[in-house]
């Protein structure tokens, strides 16, 4: 896929984030963090995370992490730097993906086996979207991660299905909005 307008999101909680992000842009390429209202996506809130990015230091700061993110991480993620949450082996992999979303700017959509904060791999779906105070230069990101935590997750036996999709297609035009679904 090369056009973000063709994004094939399966989980409705990611769709809620996608639609809210698109609406919050206000004709700009990206919305600001202040334009995002997490309470407008109540089903997504436990799975939501928001990071600020400091390009000078090259670090991400977690502003908000929903309860499901904290449970999977095994720690409170909010108000901590990315490299204080993730183990060093994960920082390089995930940090590069996050930087790409912010600095390109672009979006990332993954479905299949996704990596958790503690480096475990579980089936799920994730959407990462850039944020920008000025609407043009990325300075943060917002995302939703849906982890399918089967009985095996609780027992520590991780499913290891391949990541079926990792999409970095760019951003849709600033004036684009999805067509309403016909029911």
Per-residue pLDDT of the chain (183 residues; tens, 9 = 90+): 456 667 788 899 999 999 999 999 999 999 999 999 999 999 999 999 999 999 999 999 999 999 999 888 888 999 999 999 888 878 888 889 999 999 999 999 888 877 776 666 778 899 999 999 999 999 999 999 998 766 545 555 445 555 555 666 778 888 887 766 544
Work out whether strand 108-115 and strand 80-81 pair parallel, antiparallel, or are unpaired: unpaired
Give the per-residue pLDDT at 79. Answer: 96
Residue 68 included in any domain: yes
Has residue 181 been placed in a domain?
no
Domains identified in the chain, total number? 1
CATH code of the domain covering residue 50:
3.30.450.20
- Secondary structure E strands in 25-81: 48-54, 59-65, 80-81
DSSP string, 104-171: TT--EEEEEEEE-TTS-EEEEEEEEEEE-SSSSS--EEEEEEEE---HHHHHT----PPP-EEE----
* The 3-state secondary structure of 54-69, one letter per residue: ECCCCEEEEEEECHHH
């Amino acid at each position: 896929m090369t056009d973000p307008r063709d994004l094939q999101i399966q989980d409705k909680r990611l769709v809620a984030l996608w639609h809210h992000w698109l609406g919050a842009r206000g004709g700009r390429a990206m919305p600001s963090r202040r334009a995002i209202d997490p309470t407008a996506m109540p089903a997504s809130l436990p799975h939501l995370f928001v990071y600020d990015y400091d390009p000078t230091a090259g670090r991400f700061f977690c502003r908000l992490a929903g309860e499901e993110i904290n449970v999977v991480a095994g720690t409170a993620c909010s108000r901590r730097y990315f490299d204080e949450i993730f183990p060093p082996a994960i920082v390089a992999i995930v940090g590069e993906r996050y930087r790409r979303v912010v600095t390109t700017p672009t979006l990332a959509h993954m479905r299949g086996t996704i990596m958790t904060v503690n480096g475990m791999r579980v089936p799920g779906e994730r959407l990462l979207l850039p944020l920008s105070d000025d609407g043009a230069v990325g300075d943060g990101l917002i995302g939703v991660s849906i982890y399918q935590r089967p009985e095996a997750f609780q027992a520590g036996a991780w499913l290891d299905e391949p990541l079926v999709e990792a999409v970095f297609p760019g951003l849709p035009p600033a004036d684009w909005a999805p067509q309403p679904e016909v029911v």
